[in-house]
Amino acid sequence: MPKVTILPHAELCPEGKTIENAPQGQTICDLLLANDIEIDHACEKSCACTTCHVIVRKGFGSLEEPGEIEEDLLDQAWGLEAESRLSCQAKVAGEDLVVEIPKYTINHAREHH
């Protein structure tokens, strides 16, 4: 079972976290929530917003390709990068992952600007 490393995030996971033996087939969002990392998921994980946006720094190629709806939504994500995914859609596969939670989501950026 793969290991998932969460890079430090000032609010959600200040020290970073390593999750050993992550279940394959579980979404990154569910994995984070199950490990007390309260990532935003405003649409209740239905692929209708971008609040659970993450950047997969290592292991991106092991993930299933994003669907068309996810790709369209990602275009609206704050801080979009080539390795961006919606964590409610990206499922842990066979490789270790390194995941970064962006500093802001669209909701967060809108509230603070």
- Kindly report, residue by residue over 1-39, the tens digit of the pLDDT: 999 999 999 999 999 999 999 999 999 999 999 999 999
For the chain, the domains span 4-111
* pTM, rounded to two decimals: 0.92
Q: 4-111 architecture in CATH?
A: Roll (3.10)
Residue 109 pLDDT > 90: no
Cα–Cα distance, 29 to 56 (Å, whole number): 12
* Strands of 17-19's sheet in order across: 17-19, 4-6, 97-100, 53-58, 84-86
- Kindly report, residue by residue over 67-95, the tens digit of the pLDDT: 999 999 999 998 999 999 999 999 999 99
How far from 22 is each of 47, 50, 81, 109, CA to CA, in Å? 22, 23, 24, 30
Residue 46 pLDDT > 50: yes
Q: Determine the pLDDT at residue 89.
A: 98
Nearest Cα to Cα of residue 2 among 31, 24, 34, 29: 24
